[in-house]
Homo-oligomer: A and B are copies of this chain.
Amino acid sequence: VTVGFIGGTGPEARGLALRFVRAGIEVVLGSRTPDRAARAAAECRSRLGTMDVRGALNREMLPECEVVFLTVPWEQATGAVDTLRAEFRPGQVLVDVTVPLRFAAGTPERVELAEGSNAERIAKHVPEGIELVGAFKTEPAHVLGEIDLPLDCDTFVCGDSAAAKMKVMDIAARVPGLRPLDAGPLVAARTLEMMTVLAIQLNRSHRSKGGRFRIVGL
């Protein structure tokens, strides 16, 4: 499986890419700017000493990847999907990792969306034949990027297609220290997005950047 990133130059994408590439997964980092894609891929290659990652324009990356991560800032997610509409191919899985968040007087807070979650909002823009999955919403970019830090956490995967969730869970399961858990239908993204806000608030009060979830006792 080749994994692509729409907006692959931000910290969440680069962190996920590092973990995936090290797990032996082929990765293409997409960007609207060829230079930025090339730089992000070069940084990833030099950190890992491997060649299994390259940069490309979003619209060039998209048709050739089975599973595509949407890693743009949350408020740009629907626009990015709309812009790239013609480049999707039926059968692809789109993975939304975004969390609708704003900072009010320095404090992170969740943005209430009429759709309930950003994943559900994005779902209304996803072309026919593409399955949307919400996942990796609760992993801090900071932790993903510290490539030698054990993840030691769970990733919660939600969506309305069991087959699509399975593809994403298979990818997650290849990353050491990460346990994928099926969190139910796409509407569960509401819970996951709220959990991320809680983790960010706990990070701030504990002066950490690494708070993430693990379910004990399953």
Contacts and interface: CB of A to CB of B under 8 A. Distances in A.
A208 B218 contact: yes
The 6 A-B residue pairs whose C-beta atoms are closest, nearest first, are A210-B217, A191-B194, A206-B218, A214-B214, A211-B218, A208-B218
Interface string A186-218: 001011001101110111011010111111111
Interface string A139-169: 0100100000000110010000000000000
Which has the most chain B C-beta neighbours within 10 Å: A143, A153, A197, A202?
A202
A122 to B, nearest CB: 20
A212 B183 CA distance: 14
A188 to B, nearest CB: 7
Nearest to A194: B191
Interface of A: 140, 143, 152-153, 156, 181-184, 188, 190-191, 194-195, 197-199, 201-203, 205-206, 208, 210-218
B195 A191 contact: yes
Contact of A208 (B203, B208, B211, B217): B217
Contacts of A143: 217
A142 to B, nearest CB: 9
A198 B217 contact: no
Nearest to A151: B216
Nearest to A107: B184
Which has the most chain B C-beta neighbours within 10 Å: A203, A210, A217?
A217
B184 A198 contact: yes
A212 B213 CA distance: 10
A198 B183 contact: yes
Which has the most chain B C-beta neighbours within 10 Å: A152, A153, A213?
A213
22 contacts: A140-B217, A152-B217, A153-B216, A153-B217, A183-B201, A183-B202, A184-B198, A191-B191, A191-B197, A191-B198, A195-B195, A199-B215, A202-B215, A203-B218, A208-B218, A210-B217, A211-B215, A211-B216, A212-B215, A213-B216, A214-B214, A214-B215
